[in-house]
Amino acid sequence: MISNLSITVTKLILPALLFGYAAVANVDVSETVARAFAKVPETVSGIMHGGFTQDIETMYRGELPHRQIAVELIGAARYVMLGEGRNGVVVGADGWLFSIEEFRGLDKPEMGMATSIEQISAIAETLRSHGAHLIIVPLPAKNDIYRDKADEPRFAEASEARYEAFIAALAAAGIDYADTRAALLAAKKTGPVFLRTDTHWTPLGAKTVAFEAARQTGKLQTLVALDDEKPDVVDGDLVKFVTSGSLAKLVGLGPETVIPQKPQRASEDVVGDLFGNEAQFPVALVGTSYSATEAWSFANYLEAALGKNILNVAEVGRGPVFPMRKFLEGETFRDASPAMVIWEFPVRYLTDPDLWSGGK
C-alpha cells in the first residue's frame, strides 16, 4: 500500500518535472510558476486531493512548447504513479475507467427524481394521446454493475439506490418500464457488459437489455437469428481524461474490440413474416449514444428480440431528453405513427441539474 507521504511527494514531483522541462526548453515561465505556487494548498490534504496538480496542468497546457505531448506524458505518468486522471474520469481497479457523472449526488438517491417523473409522465400522456405506448428502459450506472472495479463502494451503493428509486417512482406513476439491472448483473458472469475504458456498454450488454425489455413487455420473439458484422475497434471515450495517442496503449488503456451484430434478413418465410414489408415503423427507439451508436447494436437487438422494424431516433451526445423532445415536435413522429416508443434512459442523467432545462 502506498503511504500518504509517498503520494504527496509524487504529486509534487510531477509538476517539478514539468518545470525542469521548461528550463531545458529555454522557456521563461517564472511568473506563471509563481502564480501556480501561490495556490499551493496550505495543508497536505489539499495536495492529496489533486488540486495543485490540476492547477499546474492548466498552466503547462497554455505555456509550454509541445504542450500536447507534455499533456499526454504527464497524464500517463500521473495514471501510472497515482492511479488518477483529469477531471471527468474516476480511475478504478485493473484499468477500469468511470465517468465522473456517475459519482454525482452521493447520499441523494432522490436527486432530480420528482422533476423527472413529472416530465416523463407528461411525455407518456402525449404519446398515449397519439396511440403510442411508452416503455422506459432505465440503464444502471457502470459503477453499480462493476462495483468490484470501482473505487469507493459507497458511490456504487448510491447508484444502485438511485436506480431502485427511479423504477419505484415509475411504477408509482403508472409508467411501464423494463427492469434491466438484474439481467446485466447475471450477464456479466458470461462476458463484459460494459467497456473497460468507455462510458458505454458492450454488444453483450446491449443484447441483454434488448431481450430483457422484450421479455418483460411480453413481446419477446426468439425466431430471428443474428449475424456478426465486421469487428469494430473502440478508443474508449474516457481515455482522453487520462492521456491519448500511443501512450494510452503503453499504460494499458489501448483500444477495445467489439463485434456488432444484426438480425438476419434472409428470405425464409418466417423471417419475412416477422418483419413484414410495412412502410411504417411499429416501434420507435429514443435515447442516447447507447442506442445511437451502431457498434453497440442495441437497435438491431431490439429488432431481433421484438421481430419488428425499429425506427431509431436516438442521438449521440445529446442526453436522453433532447432526442425525445425533438422526436415529438418533428414530422418523424407523425409520419411513423409508432404503436410503441422505447425510451433508453441512463440513470446517471437524473442528477444532471440541466437535464430538463433545454440544451441537451
**C-alpha angle 263/304/290, rounded to 5°?**
90
3-state secondary structure (DSSP) of residue 344: strand
Distance CA 149, CA 242 (A): 17
Angle in degrees, CA 202, 207, 210, rounded to 5: 130
The span from the CA of 66 to the CA of 276, in Å, is: 58
For residue 320, the 8-state DSSP code is T
Specify whether 228 is catalytic: no
Give the residue ranges of DSSP H helices in 146-268.
153-172, 181-187, 203-216, 246-250
Q: Residue 184 gets which letter from DSSP? A: H
Distance from C-alpha of 136 to C-alpha of 138, rounded to nearest angstrom: 6
Q: Which three cell numbers stand for residue 299?
A: 437497435
Identify the CA nearest to 205 among candidates 141, 156, 255, 150.
Answer: 141
Ordered DSSP codes for 234-289? E--TTGGGT--THHHHHTT---EEE--EEE---S-HHHHHHHTT-SS-SEEEE-SH
Hunting for cell 463485434 — which residue is that? Answer: 259
Q: Which of 159, 200, 291, 352 is catalytic?
A: 200
Cα separation of 360 and 345, whole Å?
13
133 has catalytic annotation: no
**Residue tagged active-site, from 99, 159, 289, 297:** 289
List the catalytic residue out of 99, 198, 291, 297: 198
171: Cα separation from own chain's centroid: 25
Number of alpha carbons in the 13 Å side-chain half-sphere of residue 79: 32
Place of cell 474490440: 257
Q: Is 291 a catalytic residue?
A: no
Q: Are 348 and 291 in contact (CB under 8 A)?
A: no
Give the distance from CA 172 to its chain's centroid: 27
**How many angstroms separate the CA atoms of 212 and 305, rounded?**
9
CB atoms within 10 A of CB 245: 12
As annotated, the active-site residues are 198, 200, 289
